[in-house]
């Protein structure tokens, strides 16, 4: 009987938490799936960390746990055993881990109800979140261009962010720079 590959748990997390990326990864060759699923599962876990609790300190702790994982991967030493962190450490390069670390830092915005400081902060958020996961995936597959990943991440992140505006407003967040829907036009 064959042993189930460790990245299968990551695939299940992605299937439950990010259907679009799950379907895209399933269209990739099998060898690529073993690389993509741990990265996408880490993204699911990091992205949901600020939303699973109303207590900011708990959310900060969850994100810090992932920052610690990225520090371990960047250092190149032993990485804690975890259903996502373990296979992630096998596929992520130092630059991929640095990109995910920036993603984690950007996700701190999700914890609090404040609007973005300005348009530059909003752009950085999109580039570091959606662009960061895209860069990490491309880098792990052997074909990464940081600028292209940031640009493509910005575009896909912006589309996802616009879809999330109603839920963000329901959660009493201020997703738009000045809190008005009309601000999108400018």
b/e code 40-62 from CB counts within 10 Å (16+ = b): bbbbbbbbebbeeeeeeeebbeb
Does the pLDDT at position 183 exceed 70? no
Which residue did the predictor score with more confidence, 30 or 183? 30
How far apart (Å, rounded) are the C-alpha atoms in residues 167 and 152?
24
* Closest CA relative to residue 21, chosen from 6, 35, 4: 35
Residue 6 is predicted with a pLDDT of: 82
Total residue count of the chain as it appears in this document: 186
Residue 177 is predicted with a pLDDT of: 67
Does the pLDDT at position 42 exceed 70? yes
Q: Which residue has the tokens 């909003």?
A: 122
Q: Give tens-digit pLDDT for 74-104.
A: 999 889 999 999 999 999 999 999 999 999 9
* Closest CA relative to residue 99, chosen from 61, 46, 177: 46
Q: Per-domain residue ranges for the chain?
A: 8-184
pTM above 0.85, yes or no: yes
């Amino acid at each position: 009987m064959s042993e189930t590959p460790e990245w299968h748990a990551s695939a299940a997390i992605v299937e439950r938490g990010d259907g679009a990326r799950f379907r895209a990864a399933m269209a990739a060759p099998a060898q690529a799936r073993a690389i993509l699923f741990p990265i996408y599962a880490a993204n699911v876990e990091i992205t949901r960390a600020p939303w699973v609790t109303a207590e900011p300190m708990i959310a900060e702790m969850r994100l810090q746990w992932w920052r610690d994982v990225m520090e371990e991967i960047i250092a190149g030493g032993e990485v804690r055993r975890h259903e996502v962190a373990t296979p992630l450490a096998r596929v992520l390069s130092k630059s991929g881990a640095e990109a995910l670390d920036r993603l984690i830092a950007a996700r701190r915005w999700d914890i609090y109800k404040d609007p973005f400081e300005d348009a530059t902060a909003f752009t950085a958020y999109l580039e570091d979140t959606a662009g960061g996961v895209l860069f990490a995936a491309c880098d792990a597959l052997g074909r990464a261009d940081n600028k292209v990943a940031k640009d493509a991440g910005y575009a896909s992140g912006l589309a996802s962010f616009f879809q999330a505006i109603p839920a963000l407003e329901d959660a009493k967040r201020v997703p738009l720079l000045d809190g008005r829907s009309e601000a999108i036009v400018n």
